[in-house]
Amino acid sequence: MSKGRKENFLIGRRIAPSPVRGGMTVAKLIDATFLAYNGRRLGEACRLLTEKMLQDDVVVVMTLTGALTPAGLGMSCLVPLIEHGFVDWIISTGANLYHDMHFALDLAMHQGDAQADDTVLREAGVVRIYDIFFDYDVLLSTDNFIRQVASQPEFQHPMSSAEFHYRLGRYVAERQRALGLSKVSLVAAAYEYGIPVYTSSPGDSSIGMNLALLALEGKEIRLDPLADVNETAALVYWTKVKGMKSAVFVLGGGSPKNFALQTEPQIQEIMGVSENGHDYFLQVTDARPDTGGLSGATPSEAVSWGKIDPRRLADSVVCYLDATVALPLLTAYALERRQARKPRRLYEKRQEALDLLAKAYNERRREKPGA
């Protein structure tokens, strides 16, 4: 091997970190010592997030899967990110939003033992989420709250899940304040900051189960998943028309990940409107790509669908880490390195976004009738 060719490869940062010392900030620790393997990927994720995704001209959609809120990550990480304007809209499993409300209702979650006998727990009236324990009455109390709120007249019509969560968030925020609690609820924070929160599979959670019971009782409340498809695509199109970039921040994977990424095929493939794909992609996942599942699908695979702009593929990072480890570090790094951004309050811009997308689609139909 020639000397010149060897030098072409040996141009990366030399691995020679200083010793870790007490009192180092999270950002300094990551920059100094996360130099290889998934530690390095996390460092790259931190820098992608702070140096590019949190620029003022970037709209960030965050997707949530896995039991993050029961572990306290809603109040510890997601609420601060919202308060600093670092999240513009959200797609979540219904379970994360359901368990988030326990905290606003002052219902206790406890550390437990993942090796406990579940038959004994069931007999004792204790529910387990791996190593989190809580009283079965926590579920019943939260169910009752949801049904009481969703029975109100303002809910008795078809609506997108964003409208439902916004209306629900007002009640959650009021209960949180009435109980004298600090800002512990993601749902309440999203309401206060005008952040649209969508659920890609609204029937697949205890929230959906309670709404199904209300429907059985004759209530008129209906969540419209087709409205969600149009609204989410419209938010992405609005972002691009306004001269901004779109960033996808995925925690986990699953249906919320696809729901965020399918916005671009909805615009390009289904509607035939010209677009290029999302600009930035950051994912924290423990899923493998070789099993063919969406959770582990790589950014380059997403390019083949038009989901990510191929010209921006370099601006994508996948960290193969547990989100309960990565999210606090990403949050601390972002809060240290970036100033707060002004909230965009995209919930209030949904109709404007829908009008823009509908106009583009109708113009395309006039230009290419029957296409």
Of the candidates 307, 342, 349, 368, the residue annotated as catalytic is 307
- Residue 4: pLDDT over 80: no
pLDDT digits (tens, 9 = 90+) for 298-337: 778 888 888 888 888 888 999 999 999 999 999 999 999 9
- Residue 3: pLDDT over 60: no
Enumerate long-range contacts of 47-50, CB under 8 Å, 24 or more apart.
48/280, 48/282, 48/315, 48/316, 48/317, 49/249, 49/282, 49/330, 49/333, 49/334, 50/333, 50/334, 50/337, 50/338
pLDDT digits (tens, 9 = 90+) for 308-319: 888 888 889 999
At 330 the pLDDT is 98
Which pTM was predicted? 0.94
| Short-list 219, 247, 318, 255, CA closest to 96 | 255
Answer yes or no: 183 catalytic: no
How many Cα atoms are found within 13 Å in the side-chain-facing hemisphere of 12? 6
Going from the N-terminus, what domains does the chain have, and what CATH number goes with each?
A: 48-364 (3.40.910.10)
pLDDT band at 371 (very low <50, low <70, confident <90, very high): low
